[in-house]
Chains A and B, each alone.
Chain A
């Protein structure tokens, strides 16, 4: 059956949200960055993009392009909040909404067409609602599958509405560079170029045997992609594979060598990981500690215990015991903790009162922090730590479920 898939991509999302919140920023070159000194550009407004400013640039590079640039520190909580509300709008039109990242989603509207008239009617209605409620624009791509819908939304930015009808697929793909397809990154594109393949048209007509030999199972998919064929369904978030780990990481404001200072960060991360695990009722047997040195060398060490845990203090002591066995060779730049080997549905009750009391204590602390905000009640040693909690929205962020990280 022919499907109608929509890909909706918010235009310069973070920057646009800031411009809406502060009229003085509208029409001006604005970049949204992290809060620290050593941050990079997260999003540039369209005005800033005309100066050649791109996501991932360092601040000094960006100011070199445009001295009048306005820098805004990211307000992640606002973005997550707006994103969740926009996703709610999508859900008024179909239940099949796959949140791809904080500013992108796929909608399968096949079953909603008769209800709302046409795909374009749905797209226009969604665009109008987002514009009216949040003042934001988005680019919508409509096609028969996710690959082409994503391609279509990228063809007209900002504020676009592009449809790739089935009869036009071959023509559009014929001269399109392979790197325009979502899923073909620079390294795959380079390998394809080595085979003399630069356009989708060439890719679709390449002998399958050869591609299979070089790319393995991916070979077959690549040919289908070249032909604009993609059978992957739109997967609503709730049907996602069960989450395998709960983790948080933090780039430090300054590199640390002192293990007491690192321990403090671990305490904070343990609380964040523990809180999220407990909120969704999961426990894990394995604690993994990730460290990144000043030279970006990154490694993880894990420790698996006999019983699944979710108390912040248990996670902390596991992380500390991993740390105590390491000899740090360089200052540490980033620290991450994750709880793995998650167990969802069951719980072994403890035999001893003290363990049960600890459980009640944790429950009480969680209730206070649920009501009055994260880190309202916390370990005394964290009192002098400035901003706590997650400052970055991870690519795995989702509007609901265990991946919904509360950002500050």
Chain B
């Protein structure tokens, strides 16, 4: 196998797979990238057995073939090479020779035979999706995905296509974020996509794509962007019935300037304990007071003028949960609905209330 390729193109192709290759080295071949040369293209494949990505790039093929090599090491080498054409050649016993300008690298490669096969799918009904909107919806739900591996069904974002509406939900058991938008050409279906796979989708969206199509095949979710195929296994589990935990909105509604609340939370929570980031709030007529105290440090408080005419309420929250939501809001104001200090609060965009976050309080 032998080919030459522009450094920038090769680097980009290797950069794209760095997030996917196995870092724990439990199965050594999974930390490798598979490089295949055929039909005037090189095909770059990486997988951790849950997620696989394959993309192709134009290159000058002299001799077809396949090889695998450590994805991280190859990326580090290519990154440092001068901006010139790179000559890549596989010799006996999968030794790889890379030449660029005056540099020559001889690297140990591995046989491609042990590399897992990239899944093949037929008869998939690919649908084009508005990637900008999808990206916004990911940003507004990804932060509340659980990273607790024992709660497997919460380790991804739940997608629910129902009656031409896509609702995306995630929860870590303490808070839940939800956003819905109209997507008219999809059939009713629902599934959970894993967090790591979502990050890869997010990365793909950032790139220039010919098109952005998605499809489902049994337990796999597939993205096709023309030169890249991303396949991920759906999270095997049932997403909890989230509608039951979303409280009724009540009259205790405060309208608060988003930035004022965000920055004041950031300031006051610097005092909170590192473990819990707990803060207390007191909401009464047109005034929201935020305070926190820490036996080792001292205390802090701040007041914000708000629009509120409900009853006075005191409660504790994990400030991180509030901040996570506020950071994703583009509107000027948000609405905060509270009931009592044992019931969840709702934070919602003031105008487009298709996006909100339900947060359980803390006892402080």
Contacts and interface: CB of A to CB of B under 8 A. Distances in A.
Interface of A: 285, 305-308, 317, 341, 343, 345-353, 355
B174 A348 contact: yes
B360 A305 contact: no
A306 B147 contact: yes
Nearest to B358: A351
B175 A349 contact: no
Interface in B108-124: none
B173 A307 contact: yes
Contacts of B127: none
The 8 A-B residue pairs with the shortest CB-CB distance, nearest first, are: A349-B360, A347-B363, A306-B148, A346-B276, A346-B278, A351-B360, A348-B362, A346-B364
A349 B273 CA distance: 17
Given A346-B278, A346-B363, A347-B363, A352 B240 contact: yes
B275 A341 contact: yes
Contacts of A347: 362-363
Contacts of B150: 305, 317
A349 B245 contact: no
Nearest to A305: B148
A341 B240 CA distance: 29
A349 B362 contact: yes
A241 to B, nearest CB: 12
A351 B171 contact: yes
Given A305-B148, A348-B318, A355 B173 contact: yes
Main DSSP-derived SS at the B contact region: loop
Contacts of A351: 171, 173-176, 245, 344, 358, 360
Contacts of A350: 173-174, 360
Nearest to B245: A351
Contacts of B245: 351-353
B244 interface: yes
B124 to A, nearest CB: 34
B146 interface: yes
Contacts of A285: 275
28 contacts: A305-B148, A305-B150, A306-B148, A306-B172, A307-B148, A308-B275, A343-B275, A345-B364, A346-B273, A346-B278, A346-B316, A346-B363, A346-B364, A347-B362, A348-B276, A348-B318, A348-B360, A349-B174, A349-B361, A350-B360, A351-B171, A351-B174, A351-B175, A351-B176, A351-B360, A352-B245, A353-B244, A355-B173
A347 B358 CA distance: 17
Nearest to A321: B150
Contacts of A308: 275
Contacts of B318: 348
Contacts, number: 54
Nearest to B244: A353
Nearest to B317: A348
Contacts of B148: 305-307
Interface in B125-152: 146-148, 150
Interface of B: 146-148, 150, 171-176, 240, 244-245, 273, 275-276, 278, 316, 318, 342, 344, 358, 360-364
Contacts of A346: 273, 276, 278, 316, 362-364
Given A348-B362, A352-B173, A352-B240, 19 more contacts: A306-B146, A306-B148, A306-B172, A307-B148, A317-B150, A341-B275, A343-B276, A346-B316, A346-B362, A346-B363, A346-B364, A348-B174, A348-B276, A349-B342, A350-B174, A350-B360, A351-B175, A351-B176, A352-B245
A353 B275 CA distance: 25
Contacts of B358: 351
A235 B360 CA distance: 39
A307 B173 CA distance: 10
B151 to A, nearest CB: 9
A351 to B, nearest CB: 5
A346 B292 CA distance: 12
A281 to B, nearest CB: 10
B65 to A, nearest CB: 39
Contacts of A348: 174, 276, 318, 360, 362
A341 B276 CA distance: 12
A347 B148 CA distance: 18
Nearest to B172: A306
Contacts of B363: 346-347, 349
Q: Which of A285, A305, A347, A352 has the most CB of B within 10 A?
A: A352
Contacts of B276: 343, 346, 348
Nearest to A349: B360
Contacts of B344: 351
A239 to B, nearest CB: 13
Question: Which one of A307, A349, A355 has the highest number of Cβ atoms from chain B below 10 Å of its Cβ?
Answer: A349
A308 B174 CA distance: 12
A257 B313 CA distance: 57
A372 to B, nearest CB: 28
Contacts of B171: 351
A307 B244 CA distance: 23
Contacts of A343: 275-276
A305 B245 CA distance: 24
A350 B342 CA distance: 10
Nearest to A342: B275
Nearest to A353: B244
Nearest to B316: A346
A328 B175 CA distance: 40
Nearest to B341: A349
Contacts of B273: 346
A353 to B, nearest CB: 7
A350 B244 CA distance: 13
Contacts of B147: 306
A400 B245 CA distance: 40
A255 to B, nearest CB: 31
A351 B171 CA distance: 9
B37 to A, nearest CB: 40
Contacts of A352: 173, 240, 245
A25 to B, nearest CB: 49
A305 B173 CA distance: 14
Contacts of A317: 150
A322 B99 CA distance: 47
Nearest to B150: A317
A343 B245 CA distance: 26
B171 to A, nearest CB: 6
* Residue of B173, B175, B240 with most partner-chain A CB within 10 A: B173
